[in-house]
Amino acid sequence: MEKMIALTIDGVSVEVPSGTTVLEAARKAGVHIPTLCYLKDINAIGACRMCVVDTGARALQAACVLPATDGMVVKTNTPAIRKYRKTLLELVLSAHDKKCLTCVRSQNCELQRLCRELGVEDGEAFAGVTNKYAIDDVSPSIVRDNNKCILCRRCVAACASVQKVGVIGPVMRGFKTAIESPWGLKLNDMACINCGQCITACPVGALHEKDDTAKVWAALADPTKHVVVQPAPAVRAALGEEFGLPMGTSVTGKMASALRRLGFDKVFDTDFAADLTIVEEANELVERVQNGGVLPMITSCSPGWIKFCETYYPDFIPNLSSCKSPHEMLGAMAKSYYAKKAGIDPKDIVVVSVMPCTAKKFEAARPELGHDGMADVDIVITTRELARMIKEAGINFNALPDGEFDSLMGESTGAGVIFGATGGVMEAALRTAYETLTGKPLEPVDFKPVRGTEGIKEATVKIGDLDVSVAVCSSTGKAAEVLDAVRAGEKKYTFIEVMACPGGCVNGGGQPIVDSDTRAAVDVRAVRASALYKEDAAKALRRSHVNPEIQALYADYLDKPGSHLAHELLHTHYTRREKYTD
């Protein structure tokens, strides 16, 4: 039985398991202790000292790394502690680029909020010499601005400990300390997988996505261009947060209306292409199983994961599904199938993807993802960038009526919707693979063993006479654990789903920023995923291959899954990459 201890925090008695930190105990007691470098399950190093408390010891101690003890009496809000925290903030600001009005994180910055709460007014108490850094904006996905960095190391922990990539870390010492890549290289020259988890971990504006909204505005203003837009499944589960709606609110209809109000010529849905991906991917899996192909087959929807595999596990490249990711498939169809139907020159079509993912920006520029000299997707913006465009256009998002997607590539099933959650691709593929292999209808369609936010999930699924062993990984760190086990012969699977981001796309690097206090109290991944599962459950059609628009696409254009034309437009190949370039 777990040993319990009792302590008092600001006069509030609380009982917690032995091994609990004072910060965790305070939260259980309903006592707020401010933090800056702390990020639940990712970074607890006591570096910023914002969470200091008085336990009667000779010095104030950091609550995030201080174990609670039985009978401990803790004070969190004495005049001395408040003065200490305010001084710390003033010291941080003395080396900080305080251009808050033009910062992408203004009004959603943890440093800004703490300064407001603790009464720090101008940040000039310790004004003096500051370090000046060149902005690293070479990457197609991520911008690093060390002039705003507060050295909290949350990004370092996310990159190294969660993703097992580790392309940034502290260099130099003392006043010259900075978060950099080795040898002074740019992120683009490192084995960065462009996942953006460093961005979501950053409490300030030192890391943010490459802003491509100007390109979208320019395309919309160009009368010679026919601009098509497609939002990913996970976008609808989080976009509402940017407009004050509760986390977990699905805003599919309002999102479609907002995109139309922005002036896009056609509003298609990446969910349609998720269904298309499943039909092609399930067909590929069945072919591999029946014809002795390379197993386990591994999903290819997450570009951060693909780049991680190409760089760190290139021996698994033959295991990757050859399917393009959903938004790339829709881009290919927009510039072939739709262009033919609409009588538009494909070169005049601009495809804009709204993604929860910063790695999609890198993916869209891959030379393998295009045809006839055209990229499948021209511009990628994140959920955050779309929100900024809606606000810039003066659209009252919450007052919008629910709109619809355009036909031809706007219909989707529940299987397409759940792509945004970890396990969703696996579940959607199994729904279609089951009926493909058995020829029988699947009832019920839910594969609940692959749901949930655990980093690794395993299951054995009975499909006819075949036992299909599957694994689901979310975060490249967890993917590495699974691949190491497969490589060592310790595990044997038929099918593996990998999402680069913990929890899947709902927690992608381009989603709305969630502060550390909220992340400590709420499982963001589960709450956002619940919106997708609710949409799935409410859909009349829940298996990708029964989508009437998918059936029409094959009947009118592609012929059948895995056809020559399908391979030409919907499949690709991958490339071994070096860990860094010199």
pLDDT tens-digit map of 275-330: 999 999 999 999 999 999 999 999 999 999 999 999 999 999 999 999 999 999 99
pLDDT by residue (tens digit) across 547-565? 999 999 999 999 999 999 9
Which residues have a Cβ under 8 Å from the Cβ of 564 and sit 6 or more positions away?
none
Residue 579 has pLDDT above 80, yes or no: no
Helix/strand number for the chain, H first, E second: 20, 19
- Cβ atoms of 525 and 328 closer than 8 Å: no
Longest dimension (CA), the chain: 78
CATH of the domain at 141: 3.30.70.20
84, part of any domain: no
> Is residue 575 situated within a structural domain?
no
**Rounded to an integer, what distance in angstroms lies between the CA atom of residue 289 and that of residue 151?**
50
Cα–Cα distance for residue pair 149/111, rounded to 1 Å: 11
Does 222 map to a domain? yes
pLDDT surpassing 60 at residue 429: yes
- Mean pLDDT, all residues of the chain: 96
**Residue 490, in any domain of the structure:** yes
Q: Are residues 196 and 281 in the same domain?
A: no
Mean pLDDT score, 337-354: 98
> Are residues 231 and 294 both part of a single domain?
yes
581 within some domain: no
Q: Are residues 184 and 101 in the same domain?
A: yes
Kindly indicate the confidence band of residue 580, based on its pLDDT and cuts at 50, 70 and 90.
Answer: low
At residue 582, the pLDDT reads: 44
* Residue 222 CB partners (closer than 8 Å, separation 6+): none
pLDDT at 578: 84
Number of domains in the chain: 3
Same domain, 175 and 309: no
Q: Does 48 share its domain with 168? A: no
Lookup: tokens for 262: 């922005």
Residue 582 lies in a domain: no
Q: CATH code at 264? A: 3.40.50.1780
Does residue 581 register a pLDDT over 60?
no
72: alpha, beta or left? (left if phi > 0; alpha if psi -120 to 50): beta
145 neighbors 206 (Cβ within 8 angstroms): yes
Structural domain ending residue among the three candidates 35, 53, 77: 77
Q: Any long-range contacts for 560-569 (C-beta under 8 Å, 24+ apart)?
A: 561/279, 561/280, 561/282, 561/283, 562/280, 562/283, 562/284, 562/287, 566/280, 567/322, 568/371, 569/329, 569/332, 569/333, 569/336, 569/371
- What mean pLDDT do residues 508-516 have? 98
Same domain, 369 and 487: yes
* 324 and 176 both lie in a single domain: no
Q: Are residues 54 and 195 in the same domain?
A: no
DSSP state of 337: I
For residue 213, name the pLDDT band (cuts at 50, 70, 90): very high
Last residue of a domain, one of 208, 241, 276: 208
Q: Which of 16, 43, 77 is the last residue of a domain?
A: 77
Asked if 316 contacts 334 with a C-beta cutoff of 8 angstroms, the reply is no
Task: Identify the pLDDT of residue 124.
Answer: 83
| Sequence-separated (6 or more) residues with CB below 8 Å from residue 50 | 34, 35, 36, 37, 85, 88, 89, 114
The answer on pLDDT for 528 being more than 80 is yes
Same domain, 269 and 288: yes
Could you tell me the pLDDT band of residue 2, with boundaries at 50, 70 and 90? confident
Instruction: Report the DSSP beta bridge partners of residue 74.
Output: 9
pLDDT at 3: 92
Give the integer Cα–Cα distance in Å for 573 and 9. 58
Beta 266-267 vs 226-231: how paired, if at all?
A: parallel
Q: Which domain holds residue 402?
A: 214-570
pTM, rounded to two decimals: 0.96
Q: Please answer whether residues 10 and 76 qualify as being in contact, where contact means their C-beta atoms are separated by less than 8 angstroms.
A: yes
How many C-beta neighbours within 10 Å does residue 230 have?
29
- Judge whether 556 lies within some domain: yes
CA distance 84 to 41: 26
What is the domain-level CATH number for residue 49?
3.10.20.740
| DSSP codes of every residue in 435-483 | HHHH-S--SS---GGG-SS-SEEEEEEEETTEEEEEEEEESHHHHHHHH
Question: Would you name the residues annotated as active-site residues?
Answer: 281, 284, 301, 321, 360, 363, 368, 505
Considering only residues 21 and 443, tell me which one the structure prediction assigns the higher pLDDT.
21
Beta strands in 98-190 (DSSP E): 142-144, 169-171, 178-180
Q: Which two tokens stand for residue 340?
A: 């033919």
578 domain residue, yes or no: no
Do residue 433 and residue 303 come from a single domain?
A: yes
539 and 437 both lie in a single domain: yes
My answer on whether 267 and 407 are in the same domain is yes
